[in-house]
Structure 1
Amino acid sequence: MKIGLLASNPELPSNQRILEAGEERGHRIRFYDIRQCYIKLDAEQPEIHYRGGQLLNKLDAVIPRIRPDLTYYGCAVVRQFENLGIFSLNSANAISHSRDKLFCLQHFLTQGIPIPTTGLADSPLETEELIEMVNGAPLLVKLLEGPERRGVVLAESRNAGESLITAFRSLQANLLVQEFIKEADGKSLRLLVVDNKVVCAVERQAAPGQFRSNKTIGGAISATRISAEERKLAIKAVKSLDLKVAGVDMLRSRRGPLLIEVTSSPALDDLESVVGKDLAGNLISTVEKKLGWKRKLASPVST
């Protein structure tokens, strides 16, 4: 098959692993910088071009890994591929919806998926009541337009919360406040869901003095066992957004697992190094399954 990896950084380890996995399975897989793709909207001859005039209409499938600040343009390009009948591992609509943090939280509640208590208000006059809605301090202040696992600040006191909310609003930033799950003790779960199956689960432990873990601020990551309820919630959340591949973040609380976020372009390399599985290969296998591709058997050697 001819597969296009749509992203913006060919050197990113996760992107490298996907390219390797595709080649190992005998496919012609190429990296295409989403910013260098351009489209022709035409009733008779719609097209997708790549830097230098290369025509991409003959691809069999694309694997989009679009960074948050390129969501609008990236989804436009992915949608064009879909309109041409080219399979996309995650659809443009699914990616777009998953990037809208507020939409996701509201959507999860309609699906019966538990989340931390969250508040949203536009008027600065409602700041005190907004903080009270999420059970007071400590609390989290989250930017709605922030990239995955960034733009999140812990306010340890009510005064700190009020100051943060005021400061962000002065910058015309859209934000929400969320209850702080103290009993999680700086730990969170990341589950990777591929084709409606949880293919790996890890636990992230925040570094000393931090309330969460990520690559920027450090912390530990280790393979972990999950409950049937956690597995069910992750699959339900991803399926409800119509994503074929997604990372699901959740916390363990006294009232059970709480879903935090679903990302349509999850990192793979750090997960693979921890769980020792070919996760990139799972993505390629899903493309093969959706397109009904079967690997050719080697011809028998005559004697």
Structure 2
Amino acid sequence: MHDSSLSVRCGVRVAIEIVVDVVRLEEKLIIEAFREAGLDVTIVNLKNTPITWSDLSLDASIIRPISMYKAVYTASIRESTGIYTVNNSRSLLVSGDKILTLSVLKKVGIPFPETIIAFSGEAVLSASKIIDFPFVDKPPVGSWGRLVTLVRDIGTLKSIIEHREMMLSQSMKTHLIQRFIESDGKKDIRVLTIGDHVVGAVARIPNDGEWRSNVALGGKTEPYKLDEELEEIVLKTVKEVGGEFMAIDLFVSDGRYLVNEVNGVPEFKGFMKALKINVPKLLAKYVKDKLKK
């Protein structure tokens, strides 16, 4: 049943748009949760809908494109017309670019794996003399583990360089050379936050024959018990990145947490399955409460 008292402000319905480019399970659940909360929901699919700077009768825009650039640009346009966005454009930009993410973390002393940035094949070869094989090579922008490679030898590295040099985008020609972390228990940790609240944490375990733990690649999830150190690192990360609905991925190395990546358009189906927490319902409540203030 809809709670009409929460969906009306001064006699006007609260209007929410949910911006997508691909409608995944997460987007379907978010749409359903916001409608069940009694909010007027419009779906904007960037595949067939252009975006303008026109003034709209919108109270909030939930930014859910998979493409980092589409997400950042749409949030920026909406913010310029006074619309509240989740997440905001700065947090989407910082979390969507791994170099920007690590730079923000470094500034405030949040630990992350040793990483070198190389802008050319020659620089990549020089980096390989600083961080020993095996190491991880990945571009600064991307999700689902795409173009993320565990490099075990110089032959593989040269093939990666050759492949990436053929790409037109400088982003794809840029390499993050990162020390490979054999995370304790061969799993990493994903923590989900809404506002300044930690919703919960799961351990992500790689599928057989796969070293990456992404759920999109078949990784499994199980509940992970939050502790004070983990919660402190996560909330400090979220504060610096500036998002309101975030996922923080961490390694555990020798009992120490290292932040790996931050996601400003988080997937959460594996999280929900492991913890039995209705994430979209919590997000809808959070946004409604923000709009009432």
- TM bin, normalised by shorter chain, reads 0.7 to 0.9
How far apart, in 2, do the equivalents of 1:73 and 1:16 lie?
A: 19
Taking structure 2 as the reference length, the TM-score comes to: 0.86
Shift in Å, 1:76: 2.8
Matched, 1:22 2:34: yes
Alignment-derived partner of residue 242 in structure 1: 242
Structure 2 Cα separation of the partners of residues 58 and 154 of structure 1: 48
Q: How does 1:149-298 map to 2 (within 5 A)?
A: 149-171=145-167, 173-254=173-254, 256-292=256-292
Matched to 1:165, the amino acid is I
Q: Identify which of structures 1 and 2 has the higher relative contact order when contacts are C-alpha pairs closer than 8 Å and 6+ apart.
A: 2
Shift of 1:242: 0.9
SS in 2 for 1:274: helix
Instruction: State the distance in 1 between where 2:267 and 2:134 align.
Output: 29
CA 1:158–1:226 in structure 2 vs 1: closer, same or farther (change >3 Å)?
A: farther
Match of 2:7 in 1: none
Is residue 34–residue 77 contact of structure 1 (8 Å, CA) maintained in 2?
A: no
Contact kept, 8 Å, 2:59 with 2:83, in 1: the verdict is yes
CA distance in 1, matches of 2:186, 2:166: 30
Partner of residue 297, structure 1 = none
- Hey, what does 1:90 align to over in structure 2? 87
In structure 2, C-alpha distance between the alignment counterparts of 1:271 and 1:289, rounded to whole Å? 24
User: Residue 130 of structure 1 aligns to which amino acid in structure 2?
Assistant: A
Residue 64 (structure 2) aligns with? 65
C-alpha contact (below 8 Å) 1:5/1:62 kept by paired residues: yes
Closer, same or farther: CA 89–138 of 1 in aligned 2, 3 Å: same
Measured against aligned partners, the alpha-carbon deviations of 1:258-292 in whole angstroms (never above 9, x if no partner) come to 11100111112232122111111121122112112
Are 2:91 and 1:79 equivalent residues in the alignment?
no
User: Is the partner of 1:209 in helix, strand or coil?
Assistant: coil
1:7 equivalenced with 2:20 (yes/no): yes
Q: Name the amino acid aligned to 2:263.
A: T
Q: How far has the Cα of 1:174 moved from its partner?
A: 1.6
Residue 39 to residue 211, structure 1, CA distance change in 2 (3 Å): closer
Closer, same or farther: CA 126–80 of 1 in aligned 2, 3 Å: closer
The reply to whether residue 139 of structure 1 matches residue 139 of structure 2 is no
Partner of 2:9: none
Deviation at 1:147, TM superposition (A): 2.6
What CA distance in whole angstroms lies between the structure 1 residues aligned with 2:184 and 2:154? 21
CA distance in 1, matches of 2:285, 2:155: 51
With over 3 angstroms needed to count, the CA separation of the structure-2 counterparts of 1:139 and 1:174, relative to structure 1, is same
Whether the 8 Å CA contact 2:118–2:174 is kept in 1: the answer is no
Report the Cα offset of residue 17 of structure 1.
Answer: 0.8
User: Is the CA contact (8 Å cut-off) linking 2:20 and 2:66 kept in structure 1?
Assistant: yes
Partner-residue secondary structure (3-state), 1:225: coil
Residues 184, 161 of structure 1: CA spacing in aligned structure 2 closer, same or farther, 3 A cutoff? farther
Residue pair 2:204, 2:215 contacting (<8 A) in 1 also: no
Give per-residue Cα distances to partners, 1:119-145, cap 9 Å, x unaligned.
1223434444312322x0111111223
After superposition, the Cα gap between the structure-2 partners of 1:184 and 1:155, relative to the gap in structure 1 and judged at 3 Å, is farther
Q: Which residue of structure 2 lines up, in the alignment, with residue 108 of structure 1? A: 105
Q: CA deviation at 1:166?
A: 4.5
Report the 3-state secondary structure (helix = DSSP H, G, I; strand = E; otherwise coil) of the residue aligned with 2:50.
strand
The alignment covers a number of residue pairs equal to 276
CA contact (8 A) 1:138 1:180 kept: yes
Instruction: Give, as a single letter, the amino acid of the residue that structure 2 aligns with 1:138.
Output: P
Deviations 1:150-193 (A, max 9, x none): 22101123443344334433546221110001243531111101
2: CA distance between counterparts of 1:120 and 1:169? Answer: 15
Residues 139 and 37 of structure 1, relative CA distance in 2, 3 Å threshold: same
Q: Which has the larger radius of gyration?
A: 1
Question: When the two structures are superposed, what TM-score results if normalisation uses the length of structure 1?
Answer: 0.84
What is the RMSD of the two structures over their aligned residues, measured on CA atoms? 2.1
Structure 1, residues 239-269: CA drift from partner, whole Å, max 9, x if none?
1111001111110002611111001111122
Query: How many Å separate the matches in 1 of 2:65 and 2:160?
Result: 30
Contact residue 195 and residue 245 of structure 1 kept, 8 A: yes
